[in-house]
Amino acid sequence: MNHSPSPIDSPDAISRRDAITRSLGALAGISAIASISGSTAHALAQPATPAPAEPKKADVEMTPEQHQAILRPGKERIAIVLYPQFTALDALGPHHVFINMVGAKVLLVAKTMAPVPSDTGFSITPNATFDQITEKQTLVLVPGGTTGTLEAMKDAPTMSFLRRQGAEAQWIGSVCTGSLVLAAAGLLKGYKATSHWLTREALKAGGAEPVAQRYVEDRNRVTGAGVTAGIDFALHLVQKWRGATYAKGVQMFMEYDPQPPFNSGSPTSPDAEPAMVGMLSAMHESFGPKCETAIRAALATTPTK
């Protein structure tokens, strides 16, 4: 299956932005935008309700000035890196969040314009190549993977692009094992960072300090934990750039209200079964050491200034 994302100025992208604009504008007064009902953690702990609650009646309406401030287009420039066998949700989760920022330019980038296969069997055609990214980027984001991540660390064009952006971009970020690619590019030395729980300790090979959190911000480095953490990571950045009200509106518009049947999303979650933790750890026992070796090899070939 080959999925080609619409360019940033396509009718699809514009209609989505129009929709979020209207949501934040016409419904600007409702208190639901100002107060999302509960945190993700709270939602996980609660049983699913048979039907969504009705929006609360507005308590305080926005002033025209507040309304205009929210709807004012931004100028964020975001490049999400693709490489063969990347994990699709690592890239597309944040992409869906960021594309709802009015005025933002969000591009999927790779070393060529050829479709890039994900690790779940479909391919995505990039919007641009590394060489075409000439503007200063607000964020350069690297998704994770498994075998693809190891190969990305060996890929000279990918490593070169990341090293260049590490010196130029306003923010450098990752989701899941994408942080290991950043470590291999020498961009996490001396920084706190996170990754998928199975590979978090491998960050030490790149001089990073592993932290067991959903996402970690250290100066201009922001790293997300495994796969779905990319959505939380992205909403955090939207809040930093556009404010809490805007970020809450994006969360509501995409109806990001997780209520899974189990609370077993990490080894320390209440419903996590020790036998399953052990099985998953054993299945991927060799992957962490392979990542460490790949990181060290990449750092050993880093060009000196």
Domain layout of the chain by residue ranges: 2-47+54-263+284-300
CB < 8 Å & 24+ apart, contacts of 269-278: none
Q: What is the pLDDT at residue 225? A: 98
Which value, in Å, is the radius of gyration of the alpha carbons in the chain?
A: 20
Q: What percent of the chain has pLDDT over 70?
A: 80
Closest CA to 21 of 13, 269, 206, 291: 13
d(CA 161, CA 176): 19
pLDDT in tens, 286-299: 999 999 999 999 99
Q: What is the pLDDT at residue 29? A: 39
Q: What is the pTM of this model?
A: 0.81
* 250-270 average pLDDT score: 96
* 202-210 average pLDDT score: 98
pLDDT in tens, 232-259: 999 999 999 999 999 999 999 999 999 9
User: Would strands 2-3 and 123-124 be described as parallel, antiparallel, or unpaired?
Assistant: parallel
Q: Helix or strand or coil: residue 58?
A: coil
- Confidence grade of residue 53 (pLDDT, cut at 50, 70, 90): low
| Active site positions, annotated | 176
Is the Cβ–Cβ distance between 95 and 80 less than 8 Å?
yes
**Higher-scoring residue by pLDDT: 258, 27:** 258
Which residues are 105's β-sheet partners?
Answer: 77
Residue 213 pLDDT > 60: yes
CATH 3.40.50.720 for domain 2-47+54-263+284-300, yes or no, is no
Handedness of CA 205, 208, 209, 211 (dihedral sign): negative
